[in-house]
Chain A
Amino acid sequence: MKADPRGVLSGVHFLDGDQACAEGALAAGCRFAAGYPITPSTEIVERFAQRVPLLGGMFLQMEDELAASIAIQGAVWAGAKAFTVTSGPGFSLMMEHIGYAAMTETPCVIVDVQRGGPSTGLPTLPAQADMQQARWGSHGDYELIALAPNSPQECFDLTIEAFNLAERYRTPVLLMMDEIVGHMTERVEIPPAEQIELVPRRYTTKPPAEYQPFAPEADLVPAMVRAGQGYRFHITGLTHDERGYPTTSVAAHDRLVRRLVAKIRNHAAQLTRVEEHFLEDAEVIVLAYGITSRVALRAVQMARARGIAAGLLRPILIWPFLEARLRQLARRPGLSGILVAEINLGQIVREVERCVGAQVPVQLAGHAGGSVHHPQELFEAIVQMAHAVEIER
């Protein structure tokens, strides 16, 4: 289905990432947000709160992030598209409800504009240190989807994508922004509504007597219902059977949790979204995402100017991880190593190591947060990686 033109501010704008994210949500048909103020994410809901009443929706400021992250799920089960927005400390509080959304297969979007941590950390300065928390932060086994934009334009585009993926897979989708992307102002082009494709909610076509809330369709995703339609359905965070009824059966638990994981994992290849530069002949691959990818591209260009065959691999969709593509690249002869640049002390690098094993050296160019890397720093790391291999040879 196409976007509702009333929510789409088509045209060319000069927006920061936070504002672009709010516009993305509106374009995606989101008319309900709940949130709790936290730097550097607040501008998203400020813009949403200003715009959405004119579109027949609402923003609700809740008493904390626990409330915000569950209020949106109540709204979803009433039929709305809904999202919430936060940063590190609030993201920590939302973990339980990410698990609830995963378990109850509630499509929703949670935006984390990352700042320096741990704890209150650096409220006004960037980091990318919530990346593993995004994947593993709630207890128990589950899979979800996380995206990492590197520009205000992508904050717009990927917010729409996040809503679409949430509906497609009935899963929480995390938009992992960072303070710089959130606060940097750039050209943002918002296309006409008829060019924005939206994934509608997958409502069941079965009558109440035949409907089972958690009986999966062929792609392992069950069709949904909403409250007030006569289905008299039950939703619980307890382990449940296909009827939605709680059970402590080990077999039912196995069936449920494996399906929750598989419905995402089985589609990992379709979910891969990457941007690649100069990979054809690259000896050194720099893997970077979010704001760091822009610094990394600069470093790669510096290396190329000095005759070093460097390339950039930017995962746009972080979870599930781009395992297949990475393994394929790692097998290529002539590759000296993979340099992972991220604003943390080693999170996604662990995933890269897991995927490529001992095939190629993997090295972290970490940063504790508060700033981006200096391109020179990454350039030097590329040079070192290229030379280390030369010396070995």
Chain B
Amino acid sequence: MSTQQSLPPNPVETLLRTDRMPHIWCPGCGIGTTMNCFARALQQARLDLDKVVIVSGIGCTGRVAGYAHLDSFHTTHGRAIPFATGLKLANPELTVVVYSGDGDLIAIGGNHFIHAARRNVDLKVICVNNFIYGMTGGQVGPTTPATALTSTTPYGCPEQPFNLPHLAESAGAVYVARWTAYHVRQITHSMVEMFRKSGFCFLEILSPCPTLYQRRNRLGDGLEAMKYYKEASVTRHGAPTKEVALSFQGPIVVGKFVDVERPTYLELLNQQLARALEAQYTGCIEEHVRG
């Protein structure tokens, strides 16, 4: 105990619910790494943390909300984005972060993902992609690379996975980046950029699942995954997103692919209503909605 007392406090500790530790994530899992980046990004961005809200869905990454010392919502499977949409629109002064996994955001929640991007709701969407359903025991998902083994594709996955940056850009995201759990500085930097940007922002973070994905595919432990990420990653900022599809243990294009300006849903709504209603329109939301 005395040695612990002599250590300086970890700077991110104030952003964690330390009374909930130890967390549920497996050794070698990358989710905790991304959360560390998240905490540092929040500090770097100098946001009013009382106005930052984190919303998660269900799954391993869905537990992030429960460990973040912020106003935090652990919602239903796939529905973090529509919950966050209601939250953000009813109180625009909040910075609303959606932090969830690939299965949650892209399979069961895929419809909400594309529509929120299309509307350009001001949400910072962080997707930890571990290629698999971890919480339920390693089933195939919409990001599982073709040929990969999972518990429900024991002979190899026959499907083509989503290329998430391409999907996000096509649907209308104004900011799209991808990193791996190896790229901690870059993740933090991208998160800070997202916090400072308005509109639907999307960050994909490839992350090892040593317990299920790595082991079943004989890819070694978390450290092996880090070596793969390090060796296979090529940074190409501005790369056309249609060229950044992933394949089983193939090359990984990382970087910031999209950073454009487009009015947000609320801006467009306000413009439209002001144009249509003229003087009768006294502005949307704010205290009116919150009562």
Contact = CB atoms under 8 A, between A and B. Distances in A.
Nearest to B79: A70
Given A71-B83, A227-B91, A78 B290 contact: yes
What are the nearest 5 A-B pairs in CB distance? A56-B288, A74-B86, A79-B290, A71-B86, A74-B87
B79 A67 contact: yes
A48 to B, nearest CB: 13
Interface in B52-89: 53, 55, 65-66, 69-76, 78-79, 82-89
Contacts of A234: 17, 65-66, 72-74
B283 interface: yes
B90 A75 contact: yes
A71 B75 contact: no
A128 to B, nearest CB: 28
A80 B93 contact: no
A34 interface: yes
Interface string A54-95: 111110101110111011111111111110000000000000
Interface residues of A, number: 49
A237 interface: yes
A11 interface: no
Contacts of A237: 74-76
Interface string B163-189: 000000000000000000000000000
Contact of B280 (A29, A54, A74): A54
A75 B93 CA distance: 13
Contacts of B290: 78-80, 226
A207 interface: no
Nearest to A208: B50
B273 interface: yes
Nearest to B93: A228
A232 interface: yes
A265 interface: no
B287 to A, nearest CB: 8
A226 B69 CA distance: 15
A195 interface: no
A319 interface: no
B51 interface: yes
B285 interface: yes
B44 interface: no
A29 B82 CA distance: 22
Contact of A229 (B50, B82, B88): B50
